[in-house]
Amino acid sequence: MHQKIIGRRKEIEILKNCIHSSKPEFVAVYGRRRVGKTFLVKQLLGSQFCFYMTGVYECPKSELLAYFQEQLHTYSGEKRPKPKTWFEAFSQLRDYLSKLPSGRPLVVFIDELPWFDTPKSNFLRALDLFWNGWASERDNMKLVVCGSATTWMTGKLLGDKGGLHNRVTRKLYLAPFTLGETAEFLSDRGVEWTRHQIAECYMIMGGTPYYLDMIDKSLGLPANIDKLFFEEGSELSKEYDILFRSLFKDAGMYRRIVEQLAKKSMGMTREQLASAIKMSAGGKLSEALDNLVACDFLRKYNAFGTLAKGAVYQLADLYTLFYLHWVKDNAAHNTTQWCDSIDSPCHRAWSGYAFEQLCLHHIHGIKHRLGISGVATSVSSWLQKADKAHGVEGAQIDLVLDRRDQIINLCEMKYSLNPFDITPAYLAKLIERRETFRRATSTTKALHLTFITTNGIKHNAQADMIQSQVTLDDLFY
């Protein structure tokens, strides 16, 4: 059944251009698990497939070759002997494709490519020979490969130093949905919620289509969350372990990293993280951090005024953040955990941090609202540690937008059900912190106090001292 594709306009255009181009194309589609890579390719190109097969997690080579044989029989209508090696398998595929009419695109889709690369299988070498020895000479050849194991895709395929080096003609990275795309996706499935409810759903699941598709339109958000995360056997309570095992070879190490970062809302440097998890700060940790950033689990940024070597890593994946805060240690197995937690101190603490991450996922919407979409802007945070011996007060700003037009936005991100009330005491604190930032950084740029809130700020005398504000509606841009 053909379903509507939500968003993905740029990706759709690229795939269509590939199919209609007058040269051979080798397209690599990658992105985190459950983000909709297979769905996009199948919905857009499925009717044009000449051959399709998908890898299976931890499946032995012999079974994958048997599956290949079945798929080739399905598409070609010819019975062939089961191949003993991937070289023989790709030879059979080449033989079948060479008999097809030359006037049509030869669209071959290999899904979950990393899972074919089992130990001593020589799969990559066989793929190399298939592409370089035959397919790359056919102008109508369109090879599309897909993989959730982003580290494998970027390291072994896109970073290959052998025969496949620079052979991929198009790299297509599929990101999670934005808030606006999430709203469109839910509406398309008959889920009628307010933007505030959609935002909280996003703060729990992120923009992962597979998770969002599990929502029961007949239930409210709290009941859906209890059903999906806290009831006995709930699907999303098991996803965390599966997610890391399927993406990373050393899943335990990757989990230790994200579980440590979940405890530090401001994030940690590589050295701080290495010390906390008792691991060397060398190449292995650096590689793991790069992989987690590539898979959208972590956000890497530089604190304002620091060099690249002082980069800070922060847990950015909203599903993982929610799981570690609420599900992982739910020893009591409370099946109405979320309904019972509404408006609790724990809920308020989590929602504040999750909303900050939601905002950081939508910098484009913030810039659009501020009218600076075309202005070069660096995004960072700022932290000044207290030094009582020298009379220095500690101060922190979670989002700093340093603009080329000589303005810096010092942003406050506040999650609340009502317009946020800036009291005289709180305004005094904001002004003091602004001046502390000015002194500490020696900046000569104009400093604008900016509020990013769910429902705006309450109109009072203090509100006039705020230079700009962004609301939740602006993040649906």
Can you give the CATH number for the domain in which 455 is found?
Answer: 3.40.1350.10
257-269 pLDDT tens trace: 999 999 988 889 9
DSSP 400-422: EEEETTSEEEEEEEE--SS-B--
Residue 22 CB partners (closer than 8 Å, separation 6+): 139
Residue 2 is assigned to a structural domain of this protein: no
Q: How many whole angstroms separate alpha carbon 392 and alpha carbon 384? A: 9
173-198 pLDDT tens trace: 999 999 999 999 999 999 999 999 99
Q: Are residues 336 and 411 in the same domain?
A: no
Domain total for the chain?
3
Can you give the CATH number for the domain in which 208 is found?
Answer: 1.10.10.10
* pTM given for the model: 0.91
> Does residue 30 sit in helix, strand or coil?
strand
Q: The domain containing residue 251 runs over which residues?
A: 180-358
Q: Are residues 89 and 216 in the same domain?
A: no
Residue 3 is assigned to a structural domain of this protein: no
DSSP 61-106: HHHHHHHHHHHHHHHH----PPPSSHHHHHHHHHHHHHTS-TTS-E
DSSP-derived letter for residue 114 is G
Let me know if 1 is exposed, middle or buried by CB neighbors in 10 A (0-12, 13-18, 19+): exposed
Q: How many whole angstroms separate alpha carbon 360 and alpha carbon 458? A: 23
Two structure tokens written together for 343 = 């408006």
10-59 pLDDT tens trace: 999 999 999 999 999 999 999 888 999 999 999 999 999 999 999 998 89
390-411 pLDDT tens trace: 667 778 898 999 999 999 999 9
